[in-house]
Chain A
């Protein structure tokens, strides 16, 4: 009943039989229990000129999971998210949605496959109404002759926007108020509500709490849990390790373009995560650490 109750204590099966923190590059939580991951990446590489941003990343996200993606600046988090959201194309490797290999050339194609992204800046148009923001790029037109002109079915969109926000228990007041006139928390809620409304497969959240105060970070965490309760898994990218530790079922650590650890918060402390992020956990002999 209480959505914000962390679920990592619920013993979700022996997904990581050989324990947390396996080393070097091949494992981002590859399914052991046979269930097909909603989204899976295999051996993704990406370079920008001579800089190797991703060196073969594997990652699975399964139904009903909140997966944290952490790593230091430059570890490849944003690159990976941009590839999954369709903004960047990988140089190598495959992306599987429901077990089928897919490619997307744009964020539109990723969205068509049910992959929605909540961007750090929320990506809302402040001068548009709440319903227009939710339907932006996927506007509904009326039936009949006016359809040719792209005549908007404003009423239908307002109605379903209301229903969408209602379904995620998000209340904005009027869906025709301008997004720019709402509070930070409400704007966040619209962005999440939009992702939930369209994201049938997985929702990527890129630093959703970076710009928020402590109390609102808490609320976003609760919202993430409630989204996940509705069945759609969430890939949660954040620097806020205590929060990641609290709300995620699994934490995947990127280090220099590779997945170096796949931890379960129930079994690992925040300090352990930090050790993997800084590389200290991998041999510990790195100078200066």
Chain B
């Protein structure tokens, strides 16, 4: 894989809050993340961990109540936070594309696929016929069978798997430098999920774009991604290359998360392990480490002081006071 020194995207110390009637909700706190050119990065975390806030911040599609309180988001050297809506509109759909979870809501139900795929090429100074031809070629690349006869159909006439592939084709039309994929396989069965992942990987290699892949599914990260970033309660708690992190996760949350995955448990069991407890209140955060209330290893230091970002053998970033501590003994 080609990697140049300058990353495609680098999020530096990003903090983001929402103004709520109950106070300031600290949705992201000092999040730093880099995506190299042509790299596939898996972003994992439960609902409420800040994955969506981070994605919205990268795309600058944040709701009105959101405010970036510190940090930068550098895309090819340009700070997206300072860019403003017009500058962002130039980038989105051209240099940065998105595939959403539900292809049915991403596609316009009252326009044909051909019309939508021609429309998104509005930046190109070409004839409609040439744009249509490009659309047909792109749909062939995502293996839509019998494209010429299908391109003039409407989204509802396609199966779920095909719709998601059409959405991928549309996102990659402009050969972006960064593709953000928000749980694109959640609605698909296992065979289609794996087919979609293989397709993404192939296209990514051809086009050379980087992918930020947001998912709950650890197996998908293991199969598809070069790196994994794990979020918890608005912080990036661990980040590193997929192989080493899966082999030796350093943050206790990562360790527990992996241990709770039913795919990891060989012996069948009726009682699945769970972390216990819940996410902290992001308006009224605990004093020390944000994971301390649920961490089996938490001590007074953890409860009093916020941990800094450390590096360990397997991970580039571990936000824990004890990145070198032996792995937790996890009893199911």
> Are the chains A and B members of one assembly?
no
Q: Which residues of B contact A (CB under 8 A)?
A: none
